Structure 1
Amino acid sequence: MKKIFITTTALLIACTLSAADLFVSPKGNDRNPGTKDSPKATLTAALRQARELRRLNDESVKGGITIHLEAGDYHLYEPVFIRPEDSGTEASPTVITSDGNAVLNGGVEIRNWKKQGKLWVADVPMFNGRPLDFRQLWINGQKAVRAKDVADFEKMYRIINNDPQNEILWVPAAAVKKIQKARYAEMVLHEMWCVANLRIKSVEIQGDSAAVRFHHPESRIQFEHPWPRPMVTKDGHNSAFYLTNAMELLDEPGEWYHDIESRKIYYYPRKGEKISKAVVPGIETLVWVEGTIDRPVKHIRFDNIAFQYTTWMRPSLQGHVPLQAGMYMTDGYKIRPSMIRKNNHKLDNQGWLGRPASAVVVKAAWDIDFEKCRFQHLGSTGIDYEWATDGGHINGCLFRDIAGNGIVAGSFSPAAHETHLPYDPADRREVCTGLTISNNYINDVTNEDWGTLGICAGYVSDINIEHNEISDVSYSGISLGW
């Protein structure tokens, strides 16, 4: 009798802890019921269906909800937004999973290439009703090079002088002769531990030197902020720079240029290369998880999902003058006289920061996990646990071919918080707490913003970073603290 009783109890528990399964397919339809035979088309629609099941206290959700993404590309025109109403519980989490071949994709394919001399040219399509601009191109899955003046970074030109009063960088005339008429050329300037992206406004050649001026707001910020500064030394080891984003610089195989006015893209193919698939990014963020500090999003897990093809357009629109770790300055300047802050050092400058875009953003959320996911071909940060997060695992994931940071966690001073002030909020729930970053492979990140990192954590508490393999980064593997 005892054996029969245990078996009966186990059957009762199994019935009670049932789970809901929802299915999504690139060939589905959002009007479908979300069954395996009649799947939804988008993750957003499946999340809404799951939200309704929880709102109605449906019996099927007691053991959790699993959203199954069938293999294929899920093209996005805006981020998938996950809110407090999507929360699971510890006993009933929401799991978004696939067999490993489902891709949340922010890319737009470029087709109908035509040969034009040494180059290939194609029309850039409209995206979601607007002309498309971008900063990356991938040919056959490999990142192409935005047209620049040097193939070998060891051969970059160096500035001659820095003139903050007139907001001019003096450079060798030979460096800028090609781009005098280029309307959208940029300078990428190496400054100690960062690189700045500066949109060139004008070039004025005077003998063997040239005065280069830049657009605002980056010109003001670049010439007012004290650190990091352009290097001008007595031994000639001045700051190096390269020029990019001009048709005149498109002269090496593997390079590309987008003519924003004609909406055409040009590519110089590598030897023997044929274009089977060309992709440019259409959006900056693929998934946005955000609650409030009193109603956080809880218990969501992404399992075996790929996040691919994003951009970050601020450098094209406003420039990019970073302080450190890709955190860019919105203002920064010297102060006279200096101030002494309580329990702090003598301070001779002030600064305020912005935060680069991320393919996945997590804010005001508890126990949001990413297991065995892939973050690839991204135009800025891979994943960012930005604010008011508690718990969560980033485990067994791949981060590869990312322009900026691989993983970011915690505050680096809120936008309105002067960056030299310690960030010590009265409500400690604001602090990123208890995150575990483990067993990830991080390779070829920081490949555009050289001052970023493999793993970057600011103001955090009880963070655990262990057993991650990091290679091919431009600055540092792991940075902890601010």
Structure 2
Amino acid sequence: MNKRLLLVITFFNAFIHFANAADITLYVIPKGKGNGTKQSPASLQQVISMLPQLKKENQKGSISIILKNGTYELSEPIRITPENGGSKDLKIIFKAEINARPIISGGKRITMTGDGILSADLSSLLKGKEGMLQDLYIDGKRAVRARRPNIGFLKFKKTSEKKTSDLPWHETTSVQYYEIPAETYTELKKLSPEKLKNVRFNVYHKWIVTSRNIDSLSTTSSGFYSTGQGLPPYNKIDETSLFFLENVANALDLKNEWVIDENNRVNYIPEDTGKKKVEAIVPVVEKLLLIEGDSENVVNNVFFQGISFCYANKPFTASKYGQAAAAVDAAIVLNDAENIRFENCSIMHTGQYAIWFKKNTKYCTMSKCYVNDLGAGGVRIGPMELPKDTLTLTSNINIENCIIHSGGKNYPHAVGVHITHSANNNIVHNDIADFGYTGISVGWVWGYAFSPSINNKVLYNHVHHIGWAILSDMAGIYTLGVSPGTEISHNVVHDVYSYGYGGWGLYTDEGSSSIRMENNLVYHTKTGGFHQHFGKNNIINNNIIAFSKKFLAQFTRAEDHQSFEFKHNILLADGERFLEGRWQQGIINIDSNCYWNSNNKKSLFMISSVKYGNKTNDTLSFKQWQQTSGKDKNSLFQNPGFKDPEKYDFTIHNPSVIQQIGFIPFDYNKAGVTGDKQWKKLAVLPENIIREFDKSVRETMLE
């Protein structure tokens, strides 16, 4: 009998066996060839292909696919559609077997061999793929693309740009010239034209990282040319911008570094230089999981439990301009889907974002998931374009009790959790750390135009070690646009440091309106625990803001409406200014706050900008501020009575002072992940990352 026919008959018998049960269980193993029973597991792809028929036979209950231990290597994404997904009455559950940790992988194993420098030919793996390999993993860790300088950054001596047309910057390309240090130019000059074009340069300018390849070197000066998308006039690349070069063939000089050449041959220096053979993983699949319905027939009721999704990316091509790495995709993407759950899963070793609840996606949950080692950010919620109607608005996405760490490996301007055009989402009890730009971002409309991003709740999160002092205009928690019902409360935000301006804890940016920020603890920031650029009727009450490098709170633009209420807050300084900006001129309800300087040195209370954009400032003491502004009349300049703020113990030791301003104590220890000790321990950022973060901040502060 034909083997294929025999397999069909076997599956048919399995259908008959399962059809009589309300709940069906199928078993899979990597490279399985059985019929899906426990004794004869099938492959994951085989079982997914069985789902449409099983759904017809069983319209209620559940179909559970039990993944046994092992690595399930993909050659293309897993696709869940209305045909093989669940329904209102039927759940499809992909679940790890007890004590198993199955890995769905978009990577392929390669072997590198050699003496000192190991190598492998990847031309067959990367055949037909446009662009350059971005990621290489050794023993589950991301290897480093060989770079110049090995540590830190360089600065340009001179930059210029010539547009290729008269169209607006975002609709045209431009030829850009970058003059670099002479010694770096000399290194590049040693490369052949083919190897030169394989060099990737990364420029950090304000809140963006531009990544491109080099076209050619200048023959008259120590510079190079690169053609790409025109740069916006408000975020040019200039002599203050940081940059470094990578995938430089003659920069391969440190352990765990690698380069790939124009022929797709990878060269690598192992950690143990005596090794003559090393196995590595190369991502060859861009997306691991696609859940896609349509507006009339959504994918429904699909659960993922205890599964790891790892190793996904596409080859590198020149990056497009965009805040929050908005042009970057994700390893898992959901469109037109409802009631999708990820529980106790991992998403790791991605080259882009981890997961995107994108278009018309509703009532989905990520719970107790570990998201780590990311090329871009962690979680995206909502599309980039305004939906045509609110019926197709992505909404009611819950991200709860998750650890979202260590992003921006390829795109440092990405965000830990990024909500764009989306409403009624809950970001609760997560630990978000080690990102180069912003921890949580909410809203995607600049100014006071209509925004559907309402009723978003950002509660009880621990957001920390953000910025790395490499980008500017960023924050621990950032908002945009009119957002009635949005609440940002009971969060702990700390260690937020920018390169230039704008390393804030809480940041209500352009048009942020009707947002409530209460019961947050914010400390250790560069330019303030709170900043409002411009907005309307925000409530900033009952927060603790402590210890910043420059100011504790900023306010930039005064308008002809009430910008915000600022009451019952405690601001604790260590010699820095308390307030900076348009606090005198703005329409704000500021009162019943407590200010205290723990540093015995006398310091001025405020730097008040006379006019928006004007560098001429007035400096005021606390009494002068009260007298000249008529504001903060019932506020105090007095020790609030924290137990041990130098050791970050902000519990109230003496409540008599705070009672005078109406401050209500809150338990900031409730922020962050919940559950067992092991899960909480995993949320602690490794010491080596904290040391490197602190080093990066110190070096920037010395400039």
**TM-score, with normalisation over the residues of structure 1?**
0.79
Structure 2 gap ranges (5+): 1-18, 163-174, 445-703
In structure 1, the partner of 2:81 is: 83
State yes or no: 1:453 paired with 2:450. Answer: no
- Aligned pairs for 1:289-368 (under 5 A) are 289-313=291-315, 316-317=316-317, 319-327=318-326, 355-368=327-340
Would the alpha carbon gap of residues 363 and 459 (structure 1) be closer, same or farther in structure 2, given more than 3 Å must change?
A: same
In structure 1, the partner of 2:107 is: 107
State yes or no: 1:251 paired with 2:253. Answer: yes
In structure 1, the partner of 2:183 is: 174
Which of 380, 385, 391 is equivalent to 1:429? 391
Which of 359, 368, 382 is equivalent to 1:396? 368
Deviation at 1:128, TM superposition (A): 8.3
Would the alpha carbon gap of residues 17 and 228 (structure 1) be closer, same or farther in structure 2, given more than 3 Å must change?
A: farther
Q: Which amino acid aligns with 1:104?
A: I
2: CA distance between counterparts of 1:305 and 1:176? 47
TM-superposition CA deviations, 1:88-138 (whole Å, max 9, x none): 2344210101134111101111115121xx312223262387579521111
**TM-score, with normalisation over the residues of structure 2?**
0.55
Q: Which amino acid aligns with 1:436?
A: N
In structure 1, the partner of 2:235 is: 228
TM-superposition CA deviations, 1:312-369 (whole Å, max 9, x none): 32xx33x003321112xxxxxxxxxxxxxxxxxxxxxxxxxxx322110101111111
State yes or no: 1:163 paired with 2:160. Answer: yes
In structure 2, the partner of 1:375 is: 347
2: CA distance between counterparts of 1:144 and 1:27? 28
2: CA distance between counterparts of 1:72 and 1:259? 32
In structure 1, the partner of 2:124 is: 126
Q: Which amino acid aligns with 2:212?
A: L
Structure 1 gap ranges (5+): 1-14, 233-237, 328-354, 414-422
- Aligned pairs for 1:7-18 (under 5 A) are 18=22
Report if aligned partners of 1:17, 1:62 keep a CA contact under 8 Å in 2.
Answer: no
3-state DSSP class of the match of 1:77? coil
In structure 1, the partner of 2:204 is: 190
In structure 1, the partner of 2:12 is: none
In structure 2, the partner of 1:138 is: 137
In structure 1, the partner of 2:357 is: 385
2: CA distance between counterparts of 1:201 and 1:226? 23
Deviation at 1:269, TM superposition (A): 2.0
1: CA distance between counterparts of 2:298 and 2:158? 51
In structure 1, the partner of 2:61 is: 63
Deviation at 1:260, TM superposition (A): 3.5
In structure 2, the partner of 1:20 is: 24
Would the alpha carbon gap of residues 98 and 193 (structure 1) be closer, same or farther in structure 2, given more than 3 Å must change?
A: same
Q: Which amino acid aligns with 1:92?
A: L
Deviation at 1:174, TM superposition (A): 2.4
Report if aligned partners of 2:112, 2:280 keep a CA contact under 8 Å in 1.
Answer: no
In structure 1, the partner of 2:146 is: 147
Would the alpha carbon gap of residues 106 and 54 (structure 1) be closer, same or farther in structure 2, given more than 3 Å must change?
A: same
State yes or no: 1:279 paired with 2:285. Answer: no
Report if aligned partners of 1:398, 1:440 keep a CA contact under 8 Å in 2.
Answer: yes
Deviation at 1:25, TM superposition (A): 0.8
- Equivalent pairs, count: 405
Say which structure, 1 or 2, has more relative contact order (CA 8 Å, 6+ apart): 1
State yes or no: 1:54 paired with 2:55. Answer: yes
In structure 2, the partner of 1:288 is: 290
- With 20-29 and 300-309 compared, the bigger mean Cα shift is at 20-29
2: CA distance between counterparts of 1:222 and 1:138? 34
Report if aligned partners of 2:101, 2:308 keep a CA contact under 8 Å in 1.
Answer: yes
1: CA distance between counterparts of 2:389 and 2:249? 52
Would the alpha carbon gap of residues 458 and 25 (structure 1) be closer, same or farther in structure 2, given more than 3 Å must change?
A: same
Report if aligned partners of 2:72, 2:104 keep a CA contact under 8 Å in 1.
Answer: yes
Would the alpha carbon gap of residues 25 and 443 (structure 1) be closer, same or farther in structure 2, given more than 3 Å must change?
A: same
Would the alpha carbon gap of residues 170 and 268 (structure 1) be closer, same or farther in structure 2, given more than 3 Å must change?
A: same
Report if aligned partners of 1:113, 1:121 keep a CA contact under 8 Å in 2.
Answer: yes
Indicate the percent of aligned positions where both proteins have the same amino acid. Answer: 26
